[in-house]
Amino acid sequence: MPRVNLSISQSLYDQIEKAAKKENVTANYYICEMLEEKFGKSVVYDYGAAISNMVDEGKKMDKEFTLADLPTFADVNVVIRDYKIKETPAQVRARLGKMFNEAVRNGTAKGIGRAVIKRNGKDELKFSSRAAVYVNTTSKSKKK
């Protein structure tokens, strides 16, 4: 996938970032979405809706989970096929993963956190087969 490097003023970036946060997406995706609406595809993958769905699905999990455990993430192939979206499942999943992780890290995915393990007396982020592991922080099983 080609990359574009933009140099913009800090005030413009701040406005874009603020608008993107309202949509629960990254500034990068927000800009891409505007460009796609203006010049691109007639049907695009709705990352904002997908992230929102994934957060809701994560809040229903009663144990640790990876993104592959969430129906929205698992069904990317079906959505792409049914809507004839011109992105590959790998591209969509990569972007969803980055966006979800950023939402968790920034606290906009309220109720979802990264799972941690104790290693040598320190808390470290947990992974399963190189996939980030998340936890529903409001789950009764978490509150012991």
Per-residue confidence in pLDDT tens, the chain, 144 aa: 678 888 999 999 999 999 988 887 888 888 988 887 788 756 778 888 999 999 999 999 999 999 999 999 999 999 999 888 888 999 999 999 999 999 999 888 999 999 999 999 999 999 999 999 999 998 754 444
Among 90, 94, 99, which Cα is nearest to 27's? 99
How far apart (Å, rounded) are the C-alpha atoms in residues 96 and 25? Answer: 10
Tell me what pLDDT residue 86 has: 81
CA–CA separation, 37 and 69 (whole Å): 31
**According to the model, what pLDDT value does residue 93 have?**
96
Domain boundaries in the chain? 10-136
